[in-house]
Chain A
Amino acid sequence: MPRVLLIEDDPSVREGVELGLRRRGHDVRTAATGEDGLAALAEFRPDLLLLDLMLPGMNGVQVCRRVRESSQLPIIMLTARGDDFDVVIGLEAGADDYIVKPARTEVIEARIRAVLRRIEDPGGARPAVEFHGELAVDRAGLTVAKNGEHLALAPSELKLLLHLCASPEQVFSRQQLLEHVWEHSYHGDARLVDACVRRLRNKIEDIPGSPRYIQTLRGFGYRFGPLC
């Protein structure tokens, strides 16, 4: 069962979520502040971080950035709807998904599972490593290298890249990507996709302003390539 680190300042939320998740079999550790959470991170070594954005002292976005400096740990933000601006900043900072409070435990758990779920191998006679331009994508090892150099991709970025490059030149609408990569509903928040695409481009494109690998089709969505 996954190990979850929950950083949440409100004791009732902290306790409620901890209770709910523990009942579902998760190994939960909690922290009340960002500083405590970062300290627990090294020691607890969680599989996933549930991070409240509104924290006293060091806030959630800062914690998220600090984590991303050294780790591709899956991060799910806990937000209150209406804190839209914070959501975008949190996503830009590297969070993989977000959950709006208040939420039932089943919703939280579904998100945790979705983020942790591996992209299913399309199977067949594909080679272990695919080459797309300068990118080398290892579907089995879940690593991506550019010009032989390993790229540190967050789980959502990796899954998005794997999904797109599995069908090069096919256009995916943002709703489709939300459903397949994030396992959200069709009507989910498309900003998740946009923020993730931006982050991914910053890592894999030569010039993020004029992307080669992940191209935008205005009014329709995104596609991988064509590379020429």
Chain B
Amino acid sequence: MRSVRSLALESASLLLAGCGIQASEVVEAGGPAVVPVAPDQLERMLLFFVGPDGRPIPVARPLDWGDSPPPTAKTLAALLADPTEEERAAGITTRLPAGPKQVEVVPAAREDSVVGQEAGRPAGAPEAVRVTTTSRCRSLDAAPLRQLVCTTAHAEDPEGLVKVALTGSDGSLLAAGCA
């Protein structure tokens, strides 16, 4: 009799608790929305600034009509210049230090050797783009570094998969990719 009673209680509570629609946890459902961005890759300059929450926000600036993709140094120069008025209105900022900077880019294709740490890599592996800037870089935060690395990677490679080795006024950094 006891077990029958408890069974009845259980089923009753099950029935009552399960009534209606309950709040739920956050549930992942499928991937993100993939959207085409205008202008297309060949007609834009992709710069990575920082949103109000500290996360990178890409900005696609159109090239002038007929221009071919600019050299990476020019793209980096645009990055080092501050966001435009319109971009700032949307809350986009840069974390890179202010002031005039010089940037020199040595593309990976022309480099014969990499830094010592990369010596053990198998031959034929992609090599890092070397970027030398007059500003400091070792003391930079992750956000400005990501700005530099991602912008450089996407300028060098449409897929943005190349590694970038930064050298600043205060020393060099290990080659890193845009994650």
The reply to whether A and B meet directly (CB within 8 Å) is: no
Measured CB to CB, the residues of A under 8 A from B are none
